[in-house]
């Protein structure tokens, strides 16, 4: 097949409606979803305009809802609001004042809880301290911290002043921090002395010192004391957090900010070369993450919501900080690794805090499956009522495990599709409204208009894969790439006029459900048939001995490309016999076209730091001559992945 279409080979027809009990309590029933979706589609500006008025605080009301000059959008034009105010101050006159905002557990087991009022006070004091260092609206602050409450406090303090934050994940190198400081012209770096990961001390301040030697625009560095490892402090430049806030005023009113004031930059490593600074602004982003949080997680005031992402990724920005706090939720925040001190840490946390909603990543779920059910069985998970996933497609068999083992066949699973660029969740079941299918992100949220198009911009037929686009602006869309309008236009808006190009492939089935088929660049072309990576991988993962799989195309003289797969095992012995068994299994599941010619067993798959499989690296390995005469030994590509990421950041 040509013209950008993708062949689907996947057979998945299991359907899971929400339980009657879940439906009886939901905020959004099937009828309500239809009504919202239709209303948003009929008149998007009216829909978002009314929500913006009722859901955000306005220091000055906005005029026009949307000013759209493709590819540049302005939402809620002329209005003034403040995201920190919407997350904190709005709750102070309500009973939520004394409700837990952040419930935090450190990796060593230490615990802290901050009510909305306490969080408000800490944010105000830190914002005063930042103002005292001369920071003002429009300046950029880099935040490089472990997952401690002060990370959220720093973000909200920046937002209070209109200082643009750029959070850099605490695992990145000095080089990566310096690149981001320089690209954004950051004035300050907010960090910690150290952090904990699997019992090991991470010397964060030492890494920042190295970065600052190459970051001429950074004049100040604020250091939160977390680990007590006493890094050297450079006088005049470095300041202890606790010393700054000691004398800082707790009276720091939120700055009224124009709707389009940049709220944050988040760098993602692009598919090639230089990282991109995705730019998000204040009002539209704030509104969208608040509403999507309420819709998708069907949030109730008594819930404890746990998103296991790090604030260094967009998931942490939108669904640990801005979405849940705007909605007045109680958010659980955990500092460390899921397998520290043992592989049951997540289940232990859920039992002790009686967590109600768990939002995590497929890569974590596959690790739990590999580690074994005994770690789950030890714990009482009966408090859970809703589960979510984000970050990658979830293989149907991993979905089924999540459903049975963690959800006890009672909890709906919301498979949420979105991107750093989209700011918030774009497609996901609303759990009380939409029956789920394992591996499908189901339907778009109200106000989201997806389309699946071929190379010439024509919609592909149902059940054919094509390029997933968003065909109408939405409030949390990225406003550009930091300092690079041309690259923004080129990358997202040049291919198909009038459509935002997501870079993913997808198909819509006969029920109108969407299935994400992986990145456009990852499609495998076997004898003119274009196969999606996730479908081949899901077929492998449905074999009882396979824990994880990654599929890539390898150059092949006859077929154009042959399917090469990298597999990690839950059991069994790597070798030719198992290879033949897996080939037969794939043939049975999805047909001979997708049968891998090349199967390699590996101890771990190379992943990005946010947990996505690095298929591009595997493609290079699969194509590499020296590795072609492949053996059955276990290879470990993790070190290679690390090298590659360093190069690209």
| Dihedral sign of CA atoms 73, 79, 84, 90 in order | negative
Q: By CB under 6 A, is residue 360 in contact with ligand WTA? A: no
Question: What DSSP character marks residue 255?
Answer: P
Choice from 19, 185, 229, 268 touching ligand WTA (CB under 6 A):
268
Number of alpha carbons in the 13 Å side-chain half-sphere of residue 105: 20
Q: By CB under 6 A, is residue 419 in contact with ligand WTA? A: yes
Q: By CB under 6 A, is residue 55 in contact with ligand WTA? A: no
Binding mask 450-489 for ligand WTA (x = CB under 6 A): ----------------------------------------
Q: Judge contact between 223 and 240, C-beta under 8 A.
A: yes
Binding mask 285-324 for ligand WTA (x = CB under 6 A): -----------------------------xx---------
The torsion of the CA quartet 42, 44, 50, 54, rounded to 10 degrees, works out to: 120
Q: Which is nearer to ligand WTA, 186 or 390 (CB)?
A: 390
Choice from 418, 492, 500, 513 touching ligand WTA (CB under 6 A):
418
CB of 261 to ligand WTA, least distance (A): 23
Indicate the SS3 state at residue 475: coil
Q: By CB under 6 A, is residue 348 in contact with ligand WTA? A: no
Other CB atoms closer than 10 Å to residue 289's CB: what's the count?
Answer: 28
Cα angle, residue 431 at apex, residues 425 and 434 outer, rounded to 5°: 95
Give the closest residue to 127 by CA, choosing from 170, 177, 190. Answer: 190
Q: By CB under 6 A, is residue 648 in contact with ligand WTA? A: no
Q: By CB under 6 A, is residue 271 in contact with ligand WTA? A: no
CB of 506 to ligand WTA, least distance (A): 9
Q: Which is nearer to ligand WTA, 442 or 542 (CB)?
A: 442
Number of alpha carbons in the 13 Å side-chain half-sphere of residue 262: 23
Stretch that binds ligand WTA, among 192-200, 289-297, 414-422, 634-642 (CB under 6 A): 414-422
Residue count, binding to ligand WTA (CB under 6 A): 20
| Dihedral sign of CA atoms 213, 216, 217, 219 in order | positive
Cα angle, residue 567 at apex, residues 590 and 270 outer, rounded to 5°: 95
Stretch that binds ligand WTA, among 240-248, 327-335, 409-417, 571-579 (CB under 6 A): 409-417
Please identify the residue of the shown chain whose CB is closest to the bound ligand WTA. 420
Structure tokens at 227: 């680990």
Choice from 416, 442, 532, 538 touching ligand WTA (CB under 6 A):
416
Cα angle, residue 535 at apex, residues 522 and 267 outer, rounded to 5°: 40
On the 0-12 / 13-18 / 19+ scale of CB atoms within 10 A, 402 is buried
Q: Which is nearer to ligand WTA, 90 or 501 (CB)?
A: 501
Q: By CB under 6 A, is residue 415 in contact with ligand WTA? A: yes
Compute the radius of gyration of the chain from its Cα atoms.
24
Stretch that binds ligand WTA, among 13-21, 180-188, 225-233, 389-397 (CB under 6 A): 389-397
Structure tokens at 311: 């604030």
Catalog residues that contact ligand WTA under the rule CB under 6 A: 268, 314-315, 390-393, 415-420, 441, 502-504, 516, 519, 610
């Amino acid at each position: 097949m040509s013209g950008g279409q993708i062949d689907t080979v996947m057979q998945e027809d299991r359907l899971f409606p929400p339980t009657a009990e879940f439906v009886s309590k939901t905020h959004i029933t099937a009828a309500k979803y239809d009504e919202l979706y239709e209303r948003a589609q009929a008149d998007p500006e009216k829909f978002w305009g009314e929500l913006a008025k009722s859901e955000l605080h306005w220091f000055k009301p906005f005029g026009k809802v949307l000013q759209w000059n493709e590819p540049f959008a302005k939402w809620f034009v002329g209005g003034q609001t403040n995201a920190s105010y919407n997350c904190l101050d709005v709750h102070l006159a309500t009973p939520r004042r004394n409700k837990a905002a952040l419930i935090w557990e450190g990796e060593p087991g230490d615990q802290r809880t901050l009510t909305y009022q306490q969080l408000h006070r800490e944010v105000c004091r830190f914002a005063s301290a930042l103002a005292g260092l001369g920071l003002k609206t429009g300046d950029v602050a880099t935040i490089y911290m472990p997952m401690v409450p002060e990370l959220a406090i720093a973000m909200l303090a920046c937002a209070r002043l209109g200082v643009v934050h750029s959070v850099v994940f605490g695992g990145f190198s000095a080089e990566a921090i310096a690149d981001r400081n320089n690209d954004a012209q950051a004035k300050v770096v907010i960090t910690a002395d150290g952090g904990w990961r699997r019992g090991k001390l991470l010397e964060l301040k030492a890494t920042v010192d190295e970065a600052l030697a190459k970051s001429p625009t950074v004049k100040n560095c604020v250091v939160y004391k977390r680990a007590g490892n006493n890094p050297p402090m450079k006088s005049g430049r470095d300041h202890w957090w606790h010393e700054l806030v000691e004398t800082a005023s707790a009276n720091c009113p939120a700055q009224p900010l124009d709707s389009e004031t940049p709220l944050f930059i988040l760098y993602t490593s692009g598919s090639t070369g230089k990282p991109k600074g995705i730019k998000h602004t204040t009002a539209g982003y704030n509104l969208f993450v608040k509403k999507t949080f309420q819709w998708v997680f069907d949030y109730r005031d008594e819930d404890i919501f746990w998103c296991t992402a790090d604030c260094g990724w967009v998931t942490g920005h939108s669904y640990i900080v801005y979405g849940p706090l705007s909605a007045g939720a109680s958010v659980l925040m955990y500092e460390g690794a899921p397998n520290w001190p043992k592989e049951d840490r997540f289940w232990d946390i859920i039992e002790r805090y009686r967590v109600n909603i768990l939002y995590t990543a497929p890569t974590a779920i596959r690790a739990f499956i590999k580690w074994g059910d005994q770690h789950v069985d030890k714990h009482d998970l009966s408090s859970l009522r809703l589960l979510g996933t984000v970050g990658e497609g979830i293989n149907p068999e991993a979905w089924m495990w999540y459903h049975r083992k963690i959800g006890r066949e009672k909890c709906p699973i919301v498979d949420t599709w979105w991107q750093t660029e989209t700011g918030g969740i774009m497609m996901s079941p609303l759990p009380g409204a939409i029956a789920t299918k394992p591996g499908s992100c189901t339907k778009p949220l109200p106000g989201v208009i997806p389309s699946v198009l071929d190379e010439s911009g024509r919609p592909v037929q149902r059940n054919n894969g094509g390029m997933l686009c968003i065909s109408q602006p939405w409030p949390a869309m990225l406003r550009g790439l930091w300092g690079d309008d041309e690259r923004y236009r080129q990358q997202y808006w040049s291919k198909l006029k009038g459509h935002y190009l997501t870079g993913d492939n997808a198909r819509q089935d006969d029920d109108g459900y969407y299935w994400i088929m992986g990145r456009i660049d990852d499609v495998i072309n076997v004898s003119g048939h274009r196969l999606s990576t996730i479908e081949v991988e899901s077929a492998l993962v449905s074999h009882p001995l396979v824990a994880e799989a990654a599929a890539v195309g390898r150059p092949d003289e006859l077929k154009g490309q042959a399917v090469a797969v990298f597999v990690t095992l839950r059991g069994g012995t790597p070798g030719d016999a198992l290879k033949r068994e897996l080939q037969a299994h794939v043939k049975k599941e999805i047909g001979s076209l997708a049968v891998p010619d090349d199967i390699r067993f590996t101890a771990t798959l190379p992943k990005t730091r946010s947990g996505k499989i690095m298929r591009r690296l595997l493609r290079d390995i699969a194509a590499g001559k020296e590795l072609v005469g492949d053996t059955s030994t276990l290879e470990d590509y993790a070190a290679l992945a690390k090298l590659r990421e360093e190069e690209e950041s």
